[in-house]
């Protein structure tokens, strides 16, 4: 079903009832529910394996217009099956085409697979794509065929590792879960790292300071916030994380600049190879979070989530000017100075 919201006057009733009014187009796909729902299984697989998948769903086909067998609206193609070194045609024939399959439909699907597999996502993980192609029909000769697809990239949850289990971590966990992030809280103090204190977190661990292997495993592909309020803990966690900057997408340290600079200096002085810390220090955000104003743990959590989300998605903050024009901020708290620079107190 396709509904176009073209004018405010024509669709005032619909706007009030259904929240329309953006001068856009809405496609609604009705599907029968079955006992097995492969799409839900696929989403569960993405969450379990932390590996993204790409699917294409047919939302329109003009097969009836050219008198060829109609492809069913709702047909899904799991494109990752075809992004392999072997030939697309070979894979498709081997896995999907039975001996009694319809060659016209097979040609349409193969054409779609070849074109959709080449698509590159940019900012959005779902896009509407229209495909056209020529079909060789014995009765009527070559005819152009058109299909419309919803192309989706189903990505794993963003992951957050919080090193520290103080009271100010609780609203950060809550805010991350509101955005469906996977959250792990670690602390070396057993009285802090408890499930009772962090019931919303996906995982709560009492992790020894010398367990570098587990720390690196948890930080892989994650955003990491170091905020234990303990110099000993923060120093131990940072020493490992700064040496392995390729593991995580984001690293932030809570506390004033002079405190973090002291930690960096002490880690550099005791490191066997201080030069290996350089990439991690450039990637470190301190003080953690954007200066959004406000006070208290909730305001801190908001500022941290804002910065982590901006870094992970590759966006800089935007300021709305009085004339309603947007301008990228030229100065954003992000990468820090090279570790060789002198550490100055604020």
**How far apart are alpha carbons 77 and 113 in whole angstroms?**
8
Structure tokens at 215: 């720390």
Q: Which of 212, 216, 156, 161 is nearest to 183 (CA)?
A: 161
Last residue of a domain, one of 154, 187, 213: 154
Q: What is the pLDDT along the chain (346 residues), one digit of tens a residue?
A: 555 555 555 555 555 556 666 666 777 888 888 888 888 888 899 998 888 999 998 888 875 554 455 568 888 888 887 766 555 555 555 445 444 445 555 666 777 787 888 888 776 788 888 887 665 544 445 566 788 898 999 999 999 999 999 999 999 999 999 999 999 999 999 999 999 999 999 999 999 999 999 999 999 999 999 999 999 999 999 999 999 999 999 999 999 999 999 999 999 999 988 889 999 999 999 999 999 988 999 999 999 999 999 999 888 776 555 543 433 333 333 333 333 333 333 3
**How far apart are alpha carbons 89 and 107 in whole angstroms?**
10
pTM, whole model, 2 decimals? 0.74
Give yes or no: residues 61 and 127 share one domain.
yes
pLDDT of residue 308: 97
Give yes or no: residues 139 and 174 share one domain.
no
Sign of CA dihedral 47, 53, 54, 58: negative
Give yes or no: residues 143 and 176 share one domain.
no
**What is the length of the chain?**
346
pLDDT of residue 115: 81
What residues contact 325, with CB distance under 8 A and at least 6 apart? none
Give yes or no: residues 177 and 294 share one domain.
yes
Give yes or no: residues 146 and 189 share one domain.
no
Q: How many domains does the chain have?
A: 2
Last residue of a domain, one of 137, 154, 171: 154
Give yes or no: residues 126 and 249 share one domain.
no
Give yes or no: residues 190 and 267 share one domain.
yes
Last residue of a domain, one of 103, 123, 154: 154
The CA-CA-CA angle for residues 146, 148, 149, to 5°, reads 140
The alpha-carbon radius of gyration of the chain (Å, integer) is 26
pLDDT of residue 128: 84
pLDDT of residue 3: 52
Structure tokens at 338: 């090279």
Q: Which bin fits 211, alpha (ψ -120 to 50), beta or left (φ > 0)?
A: beta
Give yes or no: residues 123 and 222 share one domain.
no
The answer to whether position 26 is within a domain reads: no
Q: DSSP string of 180-215?
A: T-EEEEEES-TTTS-TTT-TTSSEEEE--TT-HHHH
Boundaries of domain holding 139:
37-154
In the numeric block, the tokens 């349409």 are attached to 108
Give yes or no: residues 216 and 105 share one domain.
no
**How far apart are alpha carbons 161 and 159 in whole angstroms?**
7
Q: Which bin fits 67, alpha (ψ -120 to 50), beta or left (φ > 0)?
A: left
């Amino acid at each position: 079903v396709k509904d176009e919201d073209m004018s405010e006057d024509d669709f005032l009733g619909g706007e009030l009832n259904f929240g329309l009014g953006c001068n856009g187009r809405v496609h609604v796909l009705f599907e029968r529910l079955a006992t097995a729902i492969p799409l839900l299984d696929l989403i569960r697989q993405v969450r379990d394996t932390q590996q993204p998948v790409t699917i294409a769903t047919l939302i329109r086909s003009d097969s009836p217009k050219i008198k060829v067998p109609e492809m069913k609206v709702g047909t899904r193609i799991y494109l990752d099956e075809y992004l392999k070194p072997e030939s697309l045609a070979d894979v498709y024939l081997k896995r999907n085409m039975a001996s009694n399959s319809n060659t016209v439909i097979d040609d349409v699907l193969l054409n779609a697979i070849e074109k959709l597999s080449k698509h590159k996502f940019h900012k959005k993980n779902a896009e509407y794509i229209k495909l056209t192609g020529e079909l060789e029909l014995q009765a009527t000769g070559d005819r152009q065929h058109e299909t419309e697809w919803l192309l989706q990239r189903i990505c794993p949850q963003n992951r957050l590792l919080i090193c520290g289990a103080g009271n100010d971590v609780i609203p950060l966990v809550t805010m991350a879960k509101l955005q469906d992030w996977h959250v792990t809280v670690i602390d070396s103090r057993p009285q802090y790292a408890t499930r009772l204190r962090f019931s919303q977190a996906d995982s709560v661990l009492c992790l020894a300071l010398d367990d570098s292997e587990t720390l690196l495993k948890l930080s892989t592909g994650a955003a990491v916030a170091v905020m234990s309020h303990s110099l000993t803990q923060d120093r131990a966690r940072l020493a490992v994380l700064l040496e392995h900057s390729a593991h995580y997408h984001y690293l932030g340290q809570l506390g004033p600049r002079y405190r973090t600079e002291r930690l960096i200096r002490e880690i550099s002085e005791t490191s066997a190879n201080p030069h290996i810390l350089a990439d991690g220090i450039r990637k470190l955000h301190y003080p953690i979070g954007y200066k959004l104003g406000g006070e208290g743990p909730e305001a801190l959590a908001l500022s941290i989530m804002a910065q982590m989300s901006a870094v992970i998605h590759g966006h800089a903050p935007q300021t709305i000017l009085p004339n309603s024009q947007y301008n990228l901020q030229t100065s954003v708290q992000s990468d820090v100075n090279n570790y060789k620079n002198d550490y100055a107190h604020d």
